[in-house]
Amino acid sequence: MHIIPFGSNNTPVRDYLFVKKRNQRRHHVPVEKYMPSQIIASSHARPIDKETGFKVGADFQRFSQKNDAFARSTWDAPLQGKRASNFFQAYLMPHAKPRKGEGYQHLDYALRNAAWHMATMLRQFAPGRSEGFQDLYSIHEEGWHEKVETGTPEETTAIVKNAAIMLGADLVGVADYDERWVYDKTFRRQTLKPGLSDNEPKEVPQELPEHMTHCIVLASEMPLSLNRTVPSALSGASSGIGYSKDASTSISLAQFIRNLGYEAYACMNDTGPSIPYAIQAGLAEYSRAGLAITPEFGSRVRFTRVFTNLPLTADKPIEFGVQKFCSVCRKCSDACPPQAIPKGEPTSEPISISNTKGVTKWTTDADKCFKFWCSQNTECSVCIRVCPYNRTFDNYFDRAWLWLAGTRFRRLALWLDDKFNSHTKKKASWWWKVRTAQAKRYSSLTIGK
């Protein structure tokens, strides 16, 4: 669909606004234009940083997974405890502890846990591993015995993107392999003795072979209607749907590449931070909320990745005004229940051991965020719900808003968002009622997602 109502120039932003073809080649705008500070020369800087605006200083250290909030909840006193173990257990129905409160009742946990079910089952595929969360997926059949000719890297990239969309991805982009965004060491929770606070965290060597050349980043949209009920156990179903879909898509895409005789490793939350790869792959821009915002779904997406040695061409990073918009907007930091999102400028100071050293960025307080989750016995994503980019972009108003937000009239866009787009919480009972109300015929076309 090519509808171009604004101006006459063929600008990149217009591509996101009016062209709905997902795998269409994206245009590139150099990021130096909008990054306020200079890129610091450091031995950890890479040429791609000029395009993404990343500032990676001399004190940068690759992150070790034992220090992320989930891993720490198994070995580090400030995040350990009964509440944390109850929180994880609640994803298995017998331990769900439904309560009377709106959004935390039996039906809500039943749907949330069902949504997570496929990702949870695949996680347990190989004994002693936690695949998709701490370990790479190993659920693969033998591929083809020799490398198959698939054309030039450009042609092969188009083939792979087409396959990714067909296998379930909502967005796909390709980045060159970058060892900075691969965990130095990974973590294996299963080796810890449960209930002991003085356990040494068990770091395990990174499994991903170093000779990978590319990272294919896939994104799955999380349903808007569920996200509107955040915070609630019901809204956790939107993450579960994203995870279960991501697991299936990435494993299938890795198998496709293996069937062409190349190496491919599907991973989800394991292996390394997804966000810098998503940005380098041209899918998104970084935001104050510490999340990657896409022009198609805002931050309401989950990412998964496939590392491969198949010759591909990397996409270019994109710019559609998010960082400048975040500099005038504080909706996420104002709404975050435990005040975990910064209100100030990006900084290279980590808040705790759960943050990477040496990267200048907005950083979320992982301890505050995770403790809030434990206190309400389910995950949260208020920061996604309240974000002005949390739209469907399937109508003229949203697309016009996206265009405006990327211009110097961003304050007007913020005002319009306040005025016309209600990101207020909807009750879980609203969600159940609307969607179970006598639809004559149940289809995603009639009741939407």
Q: Which residues of this chain interact with ligand SF4, rule CB under 6 A?
A: 287-289, 325-326, 329-332, 336-338, 340-341, 364, 369, 372, 380-383, 386-389
Site string for ligand B12, 302-321 (x = CB under 6 A): xx------------------
Question: Which CB, 18 or 88, lies closer to ligand B12?
Answer: 88
Stretch that binds ligand B12, among 38-46, 65-73, 189-197, 247-255 (CB under 6 A): 65-73
- Contact characters 316-355, ligand B12, x per CB under 6 A: -------------------------x------------xx
Reduced to 3 states (helix: H, G, I; strand: E, B; else coil), residue 446 is: helix
CA distance 320 to 82: 43
Compute the least distance from the CB of residue 89 to ligand B12, in Å. 16
SS3 state at 303? strand
The yes or no reply on residue 228 touching ligand B12 (CB under 6 A) is no
Decide which of ligand B12, ligand SF4, none touches 292; Cβ closer than 5 to 8 Å per partner kind. Answer: ligand B12
The SS3 call for residue 299 is: coil
Number of residues that bind ligand B12 (CB under 6 A): 36
44 belongs to the binding site for ligand B12 (CB under 6 A)? no
What, of ligand SF4, ligand B12, none, does residue 302 touch, CB below 5 to 8 Å by kind?
A: ligand B12
- CB count within 10 Å of CB 273 equals 19
**Could you give the maximum distance between any two Cα atoms of the chain, in Å?**
65
Give how far Cα 372 sits from Cα of 215, 226, 311, 328, Å.
33, 19, 44, 26
Partner interacting with residue 338 (select from ligand SF4, ligand B12, none; CB below 5-8 Å by kind): ligand SF4
List of residues 6+ apart from 355 with CB closer than 8 A:
363, 366
Residue 280 is inside which H or E element, if any? helix 274-280
Contact letters for ligand B12, residues 66-105 (x by CB under 6 A): --xxx-----------------------------------
Give the helix ranges, DSSP H, for 285-395: 322-328, 331-335, 366-376, 382-385
CB under 5 to 8 A by kind: which of ligand B12, ligand SF4, none does 275 bind?
ligand B12
User: Which partner, ligand B12, ligand SF4, none, binds residue 378 by CB below 5 to 8 Å per kind?
Assistant: none
Residue list 156-215, contact with ligand B12 (CB under 6 A): none
Considering only residues 364, 390, 402, 426, which one is a binding residue for ligand B12 as defined by CB under 6 A?
A: 364
Cβ atoms 147, 262 nearer than 8 A: yes
- Least distance (Å) between residue 231 CB and ligand SF4: 7
**Helices (DSSP H) in 189-235: which residue ranges?**
224-227
**Count of residues making up the chain:** 449
Site for ligand B12 in 279-298 (CB under 6 A): 286, 289-292
The answer to whether the CB of 192 falls within 8 A of the CB of 75 is yes
| Nearer to ligand B12 among residue 71 and residue 260 (C-beta) | 71
**Shortest Cβ 441–ligand B12 spacing (Å):** 31
Give the up-direction half-sphere exposure of residue 363: CA atoms within 13 A in the CB hemisphere: 18
- The neighbouring-strand residues paired with 286 are 292
CA separation, residue 142 to residues 138, 216, 305, 308, 320 (Å): 11, 21, 20, 16, 42
Give the shortest CB-145-to-ligand B12 separation in angstroms. Answer: 32
Strand partners, 174: 216
Q: How far is the C-alpha of 19 from the C-alpha of 5, rounded, in Å?
A: 12
Question: Which of 244, 356, 377, 390: binder of ligand B12 (CB under 6 A)?
Answer: 356
Of 301, 312, 314, 428, the one binding ligand B12 (CB under 6 A) is: 301
Q: What DSSP letter does each residue of 217-230 carry, written as one string?
A: EEEEEPPHHHHTT-
237 binds ligand B12 (CB under 6 A): no
Cβ atoms 424, 417 nearer than 8 A: no
Peptide bond into 231 cis (omega under 30): yes
Structure tokens at 198: 């003085």
Among 74, 130, 229, 274, binds ligand B12 (CB under 6 A): 274
Q: Does 384 contact ligand B12 by CB under 6 A?
A: yes
Q: Is 381 in the site for ligand B12 (CB under 6 A)?
A: yes
Distance CA 294, CA 389 (A): 8
269 binds ligand B12 (CB under 6 A): yes
Question: Contact residues for ligand B12 (CB under 6 A)?
Answer: 54, 63, 68-70, 239, 268-269, 273-276, 286, 289-292, 299, 301-303, 341, 354-356, 359, 361, 363-364, 366, 369-370, 379, 381, 383-384
